[in-house]
Structure formats: structure tokens, C-alpha cells
Structure 1
Amino acid sequence: MGPWDGARRVAVAVSGGADSLALALLARGWGDPIAFVVDHGLRGESASEAAWVREVLGARGIPTTILRLTDLAPGPGIAARARAARYAALSAACRHAGLVDLLVGHHAGDQAETVLMRRRRSSGPDGLAGMAACVETDDIRLLRPLLAIDPAPLRNFVTAAGLVPVDDPTNTDQRQTRARLRREIGTDRAELLAEAARCGANRAESGQAIALELAARASIHPERFAILSPGPLHSQTLASLLRSLAGRGFPVAHIDAWAANPRPGTVAGVQILPAGKLGPGWLLVREAAAIQAPANATPGTVWDGRYRVTSAPTGAAIGSLGRDSAAFRRQSALPAAVLNALPTFRYNSVLSAVPDLDYGGPMLSQNRGVIRHAGLPAAGASFLPC
């Protein structure tokens, strides 16, 4: 695991199963982890199991926090809903604790099941690469250091430590897709893992090529717009740029024609315009018509998929500059399309702060994210780009 700065703490997601317990104990051997246990509340034993995990890890010097979910109900799609809720809770806990790295205990058996599942869904090469060892999200870096390890030695390691792991009955419930796949894989595991390794190497090579093309062709500005040099580019490079500017985490489809021949228009919530006075090539900026409506600026609010409110006084709202951009066009060199999409704070419907334009008071010259203005209460407001 690592290398890490010895002073940096990491988080570990622990369910109480053998794999995640092994990961927590291994992490304790080289670092200073914090454990998070998500209690879905879907089984009667879940609360006591979470408490047991906190007790045994605490006895081994690993501080542990239980994250209880209260809004999950059994029914259709429960596995997907529980997974989404689990990662949302873990991300929020990491953000609150100031932690970037979250370790999860997926192992070689989980990887083989993932590849087989995606093969049967006719996934492309990227899907057949399975789970990645490192995935960066808006909040955290999700790390899977056990992907190459079989589950049996992990269980043995936990048993040797004197622990009896929790065995979730859904892991053997044949009504569950993964439980059925686990029974079917048998001796095919090695072949599935080899396919994941081949496709994973290709995916990593493709990712590097995209990064190099972005570095050579795109200039990304802090006001959340980009200048793209003239000429065709790889469709995945354009897709990466569009996802960043639009604040969308999902793939962008049907853009091959745009990548082969960039031209004025709107695609995936992003405007493509001639760069004009900003230089040769294309200006890419969030499409005004697709921007989210103003929202209450309560701490934790993610607005338009692009900005998260970190603090705000009661009654403040976050939204786009929109029609108020006309007042700033003479003093700003930014194009109108960029000005329109800038995030703003309003209080009692009055424009109070535009951090990217240093509008809102003297405090902004010292800290662009903190708002102090006569229109806002003294508590101020702030946001961070996602």
C-alpha cells in the first residue's frame, strides 16, 4: 500500500466482513487509519454488527465511526440504492474529517464477478477492465489495494488475528446476482482476472493518451471555461472536457462527429463557440439554458454539479450571474457566455457576491471563496469548485 506521506491519515470502509477487516488491520500496520462503518439498517443484526466492528477495531487502536442510514427501504433496486447511499455517506464522512483517500476491500473474487457480469451485459473493453485500483471522484480518491488478492488468505489473516468476521447472508442468497455469479465462476476466475488485466492496461494507456491530448490542446480556466485549439481530437478527450465543464459524472454519448469536426453549437450542456479575442480555436463554457435554477445556499449544497457551498448565512441563494452579467461586461475581459455562467450569491434576491469577479467586498482580495458584503449578514458565505 502506498507510498503515502507518513503524516497523512486515510479512511477505511469496514463492513465487518473478512475482506474489509483484513484491510483495516493491514492499514493499521503501515499507517494511521480511521474506519467508517455504514449501517444500512436493512437487517435486524446490522446495528449490533456495526457496534462490534467499532469495538474490535477500537481495541486495536483504529478509531471507528458508525454511519447510520435511515431512509433506505427494501424493494426493487435495493442493492443499487444501498450502494449509492453507502458511498454518499462515506464521501460525506471523509469530507467532514478532511480525508482524501478512502480504502475499500474489493478483492480478486469481486473483480472476477464484476468482469463476468459485464461480459454478460456485452460491455466494451473499458467495462471488461473491471474495477480500477484508483478512482478519483469530486470528493475523494477511492482506492482498492486488495484487487489482486484472493479472499481465502484475507479470511485466514483475520482468523489469525483472533477475529470472527461478519458473514452477510445476502452474500450467499441465490436471488442476488453476485451470489449466483460467485457460484458459477469456479475455475474461470484466473481467465476473468487475466481479461481484466489486459483490458485494464489498455484503459490506462488510453487514459494517459487523453491526459496528454488535454494538456496539449486545452487551456482550462478557473472561471470554469476552456479554450480548445483548432482541429479534430479524440472523442474521449472531448468527453472528459465536457464532463468537467458541465459538472456531470456520467459518460457523454454521440460526440464522435463533434470531436472529428469541432464547430459552434451545444453538446452535453456545454456551448462551443469561436474563441474570438481569447485566441484561435474554440471557447467551451457551461450552456446558460442548462444551468440549474438558484438554490438555497445551505452548507453542503452542490449547485449545478459544479460548486459546493461550504458556508452561507440563512436566506442566501446560489445561482448563475445570468442577466446581471451586463453590469460587469465593461470591466471584465471575460466573454458574455462565461460571465452568464459564473456562480453568484444573492441575499433577499439582491446580487451580493460574484467571487470570480472579486465583487462582494475587500475580503475577496484575500480569499476568493469567502464572501463579505453589505448585502449579506456578517457570517458570510463561501463555495468550492467541485
Structure 2
Amino acid sequence: MDGPGAIGASEFDALMEPLGPFGLAPVVVAGVSGGPHSLALALLLARWARGRGGRAVAGIVDHGLRADSAAEAARVSAWMTARGIESRVEALGLDGGTGVQARARAGRIAALLRVCAAVGAPWLALGQHRGDQAETLLLRGFAGSGPAGLAGMAAARSAGGALVIRPLLGVAPVRLEAVVAAAGLAPIRDPSNENRGFTRVRLRSALADPGGEGPAIAALAEAASAFARRRGVAEGEVAARIGAAARLHPEGFARLDLALLGRDGVAAAALAVLVRAVSGGDYAPAEAAAAALLARGAGTLGGVRLMQGGLLLREEAAMAPAVPAVPGARWDGRFVLEGVPPEGCVIGPLGAARLPRPAWLPEAVVRTMAGLHRDTVLVATPGLSYPPPGAHPACRLRFAPAGGACA
């Protein structure tokens, strides 16, 4: 595997080290498209996991955007099998049209997280490299991003169901190509990567450095690293403030000590993080909007309601409609179904359920909680001890915000 310029075992071990701890027998899913960089990741990760008594699973997503996408997914799966790497294929069936790249990225991550849940993997590894990081920095700069956005892609971030890790962000793509060539594989080249209708492709062409070893990409990647260090310091301050002033409950709400939270920039950033968690949203609201809500002391923001006294809960009017209760289903971006439910169930708002309510749980929160229903019968709900002890169903609803509890 260690052809000229390729990453060796010890170097990859060093890249993984700061993303842990991984413990004994780690199970990691690698997102594998069949391109050279994700193939290199799968090969490197499989050796790394085996050396620790664990395993790597190749998560392969058939996006359905090309007529031959299913055949390509099957081919990649066969490559993995031939090398002793377990694989799972997830089909998306996307349609082309507006925003296809963004929809494909979101669908791919959701599908890979389903693979993580299916195989019991707490980590999802992605193969973005130094060139991808440089392009991300430029794209965000052109979009007017602040320091947090200019930090580029994080080496590790929570995605709710798993921790997303990117061990190759500092690696030049030419070195990943060398790993694949040494393994005797001819990677699949996605034609959309040559479509100059996409801004990222035009930027890649302007950089004129496909190997990712030139000074421009190196400088951009280093700038992203500097911003990432700054972001890390800021995130540490926010985490400390949340730890001191807030408690996030598994019923899907938070209690804030508004005096301890304060009204400075760290307080606004902390409230934005909490709003994202309680709403189940993909993104946090702008910190300026969070600061304005703090100044008012009560109100709504991002599908969340802040009440006098510091109760932060989901806004009822913003909740999603009920969804079919299939294993792994997520409702309202907040609650995930674990296990196998009875047939014919849906997940939706608990509403005005006539169940005993503990004194510490506000009635307003109960109406925003998730319930597992079959017709008009409530099968289960978290937080209200229903069903009672001794009558546990083969499934449960768990508060797991789409963007992580406080990511």
C-alpha cells in the first residue's frame, strides 16, 4: 500500500491519534464513493482498525443521479469485499435540479449515519483532504463568513448519531492517489467534479494544483488551521459557559440560569448552540439574533421559545408532522427511534397526553415531546415513564438532535 509518496501506516496512526480516544476494538464507518480519496481512506482505515482488534465498514451511497450509479456502487462494494472490508450500500434516489450538490451532500451524510447506526459505529470517517479544505476556505470567504466559517471543515464534529472525523484534512491529494495506485485500484471519477457550472470546480481549476502540493493550497490550508485554533478556543469558552449556566434535558428542553449565562458575546454564542440543540436544526441561528433574544429576556428564535425564568423549549408551531416509525427514524430533528416498533406506528408530537407528569417537568414541555402512536393509542414516550416498568416495548425514543446535543 505504501507506494511512492503514499501515506504509511505509522503516519496514518499519527493522524488518527488526536481524533480519539477510540478504545478497544473500534468500529468505524468510512464514507466511500469510489473516488481515489475515499478509497485511500477505506484502505488506510481498515488496516488501522484491524490493528486495534476492530473493523472498518465501507459506507457506500448510491445517489441515483447517474444511470450507472447503482452499478458503480456495486463495483465499489466488490472492491471492498475483495480486500476483506465489510461494506453497506445505501440508495438515495435523488433527482437532479436546483441545489443538487447540497442535497446530495446532506443525503449522503444522513445515509452514512444510518450505516453507523446499523453496524454500531460511533465514528464516521470522511476523506476530505488538504485541497478540499483550501477550496472550502475560499468558498466561505467569498460568502462573507466570519472567523468560525473560515476555520474550514472541522477535523472532528458531532453529527448526532456519530462523531464525524476527517483524518486526512492536512494531506495532499496526490499522496492519497498513490495509496490507491499501490493497491492496484482504478478509482471512479465523478464527472460532476469537472462541471464548471459548480463554483467549487471553478475554484479548483483556478488554483491549478490538482496534487495539492503547491504553495497556494498549502497557505490556504494553514490559514484554515489558524482559524480552527481560534475557533477551538472560542468553542471551549462557549462549552464552559453552557456547563455553568445550562442543563439540557433528555426530554428535549433546557433550563438556563440567565444571570450566570450573561449577555456578552460568549453568552450569545452559547444560546445559539442551545437553540440549535433544542430545535433539532442543522444550523445555529446568528449570534446577533441570539444576543437580541437575551436582551429581550423572552421570545422565539429558530423554532425555539425562551420563557421568563430561563426555560428553553421547542416552539409547538414549528414542530414537524408525524413520520412513519421505522427503525432509525428521526422526528423533528430531535428524537430518534431505536429498536423495532409495533407495526403501523408513527412518531409525532405527544400533545396533551393524559399521563402522570413529574412535578419538575413543565406542562409546556410535555406538549413538545415525542410520542410513539398507533392510531390514537400512545405506545411509548420518553420522560413520562410510559409504558410503566415491566412493560417495556422493543423500542424507545431518544433525544438526539441532528446537529449534536451541543455541537
TM-score by length of 1: 0.85
Counterpart among 224, 230, 233 of residue 205 in structure 1:
233
User: Secondary structure at 1:81's aligned position in 2?
Assistant: helix
Counterpart among 251, 255, 274 of residue 290 in structure 2:
255
Unaligned runs of 5+ in 2: 1-15, 50-54, 209-214, 401-407
Higher mean C-alpha displacement, 58-67 vs 37-46: 37-46
| Alignment map for 1:90-239 (pairs within 5 Å) | 90-186=112-208, 187-231=215-259, 232-233=262-263, 234-239=267-272
**Contact 2:135 2:200 (8 Å CA) reproduced:** yes
The Cα of 1:300 is off from its aligned counterpart by: 3.5
In structure 2, how many angstroms separate the alpha carbons of the residues matched to 1:179 and 1:215? 42
Amino acid at match of 1:383: L
**Contact 2:382 2:397 (8 Å CA) reproduced:** no
**Deviation per residue, 1:62-113 (Å, 9 max, x gap):** 12233333x2233332222222222222111221222121111100011111
In structure 2, how many angstroms separate the alpha carbons of the residues matched to 1:41 and 1:355? 37
Counterpart among 371, 377, 383 of residue 344 in structure 1:
371
Cα separation, partners in 2 of 1:28 and 1:342, compared to 1, 3 Å: closer
In structure 2, how many angstroms separate the alpha carbons of the residues matched to 1:323 and 1:161? 60
**Deviation per residue, 1:214-236 (Å, 9 max, x gap):** 00111222333222113224211
Higher mean C-alpha displacement, 24-33 vs 187-196: 187-196
Higher mean C-alpha displacement, 145-154 vs 333-342: 333-342
Query: What corresponds to 2:342 in structure 1?
Result: 313
How many percent of aligned residue pairs carry the same amino acid? 39
| Alignment map for 1:356-375 (pairs within 5 Å) | 356-363=383-390, 370-371=392-393
**Contact 2:29 2:125 (8 Å CA) reproduced:** yes
Cα separation, partners in 2 of 1:35 and 1:126, compared to 1, 3 Å: same
Query: What corresponds to 1:49 in structure 2?
Result: 72
Counterpart among 266, 274, 277 of residue 300 in structure 2:
266
Unaligned runs of 5+ in 1: 276-281, 365-369, 372-379
How many residue pairs are counted as aligned between the two chains? 363
User: Secondary structure at 1:12's aligned position in 2?
Assistant: strand
**Contact 1:321 1:344 (8 Å CA) reproduced:** yes
Amino acid at match of 1:224: G
Cα separation, partners in 2 of 1:40 and 1:211, compared to 1, 3 Å: same
Query: What corresponds to 1:376 in structure 2?
Result: none
The Cα of 1:293 is off from its aligned counterpart by: 4.3
**Contact 2:151 2:231 (8 Å CA) reproduced:** yes
The Cα of 1:130 is off from its aligned counterpart by: 1.0
**Contact 2:117 2:328 (8 Å CA) reproduced:** no
In structure 1, how many angstroms separate the alpha carbons of the residues matched to 2:153 and 2:318? 32
TM-score by length of 2: 0.81
The Cα of 1:11 is off from its aligned counterpart by: 0.9
Determine which structure has greater relative contact order: mean sequence separation of CA pairs < 8 Å that are 6+ residues apart, divided by chain length. 2
Counterpart among 59, 68, 86 of residue 36 in structure 1:
59
- What is the aligned-residue RMSD (CA, Å)? 2.4
Amino acid at match of 1:181: L
**Contact 2:254 2:311 (8 Å CA) reproduced:** yes
User: Secondary structure at 2:97's aligned position in 1?
Assistant: coil
User: Secondary structure at 1:219's aligned position in 2?
Assistant: strand
In structure 1, how many angstroms separate the alpha carbons of the residues matched to 2:283 and 2:375? 35
Cα separation, partners in 2 of 1:15 and 1:242, compared to 1, 3 Å: same
**Deviation per residue, 1:296-347 (Å, 9 max, x gap):** 434333222221223322343433343335x635x63422222333333444
In structure 1, how many angstroms separate the alpha carbons of the residues matched to 2:196 and 2:99? 16
* Bigger Rg, which one: 1
In structure 1, how many angstroms separate the alpha carbons of the residues matched to 2:48 and 2:370? 42
The Cα of 1:164 is off from its aligned counterpart by: 2.3
**Deviation per residue, 1:259-291 (Å, 9 max, x gap):** 3x362333333332344xxxxxx2222233433
Correspondence 1:334 to 2:366: no
The Cα of 1:180 is off from its aligned counterpart by: 1.4
Higher mean C-alpha displacement, 8-17 vs 302-311: 302-311
In structure 2, how many angstroms separate the alpha carbons of the residues matched to 1:363 and 1:135? 37
In structure 1, how many angstroms separate the alpha carbons of the residues matched to 2:351 and 2:239? 32
| Alignment map for 1:278-289 (pairs within 5 Å) | 282-289=310-317
Higher mean C-alpha displacement, 311-320 vs 194-203: 311-320
**Contact 1:288 1:337 (8 Å CA) reproduced:** no
